[in-house]
């Protein structure tokens, strides 16, 4: 049985939306989802044509990154939109489990978790955006100068593909301690721009 109740009409939710707009001077993205890197495969955005960069803090470290703005104030990382030029070594099958190792400091032992690719049901790599340049700064300059026009283009999140790798050295990755030889994975978001 499908639930037809509109939870956006809840008084507390409406108050949150009012306070958010008052505090930030912009509308809250009511389609925002949590998990899955914040996007659902198939989710679309319409670009405003604007490009900017910002400095932020991610996991305690300063980061500076380029982003494109979409209607509703959504900021999409330009580097993430660039995706990959080939699927060589990547897995797209959501049924296939990829094991990833990490060192648990509390138990002082190697632990394993599994991840999966998550792509749209009709995923086709030919739809993945292949930018005019793979050099991030050149691409940013092309967009900023108006030589690459993106205003009004629809961006579609196609999902995340996974490439299994072996750690070449000890490191910290996304808050996990990794030792040389551990199984790891590169998770790459793929997008179309039309």
Residue 1 lies in a domain: no
- Residue 46 falls inside a structural domain: yes
Q: Which residue segment(s) compose the domain that 118 sits in?
A: 7-193
pLDDT at position 126 is: 95
Strand partners, 111: 102
pLDDT digits (tens, 9 = 90+) for 115-131: 999 999 999 999 999 99
Residue 60 has pLDDT above 80, yes or no: no
Q: How far is CA 117 from CA 9, 20, 64, 73, 105, in A?
A: 34, 33, 27, 28, 27
Instruction: Indicate if the pLDDT at residue 106 is higher than 50.
Output: yes
Q: How many domains does the chain have?
A: 1
120 inside domain: yes
Tell whether 161 is covered by a domain. Answer: yes
The verdict on residue 2 lying in a domain is no
Tell if the pTM clears 0.85, that is, is over it.
no
Average pLDDT, the chain: 87
């Amino acid at each position: 049985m499908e639930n037809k109740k509109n939870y956006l009409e809840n008084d507390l939710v409406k108050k949150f939306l009012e306070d958010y707009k008052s505090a930030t001077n912009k509308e809250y993205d009511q389609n925002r989802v949590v998990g899955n890197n914040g996007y659902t495969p198939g989710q679309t955005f319409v670009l405003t044509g604007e490009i900017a960069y910002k400095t932020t803090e991610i996991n305690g470290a300063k980061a500076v990154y380029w982003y494109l703005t979409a209607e509703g104030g959504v900021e999409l990382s330009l580097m993430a939109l660039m995706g990959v030029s080939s699927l060589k070594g990547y897995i797209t099958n959501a049924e296939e489990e990829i094991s990833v190792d990490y060192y648990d400091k509390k138990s002082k032992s190697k632990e394993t978790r599994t991840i999966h690719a998550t792509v749209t049901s009709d995923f086709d790599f030919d739809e993945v955006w292949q930018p005019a340049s793979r050099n991030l700064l050149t691409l940013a300059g092309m967009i900023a100068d108006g030589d690459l026009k993106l205003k009004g283009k629809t961006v579609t999140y196609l999902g995340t593909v996974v490439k299994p790798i072996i750690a070449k050295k000890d490191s910290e990755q996304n808050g996990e301690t990794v030792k040389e030889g551990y199984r790891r994975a590169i998770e790459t978001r793929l997008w179309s721009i039309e």
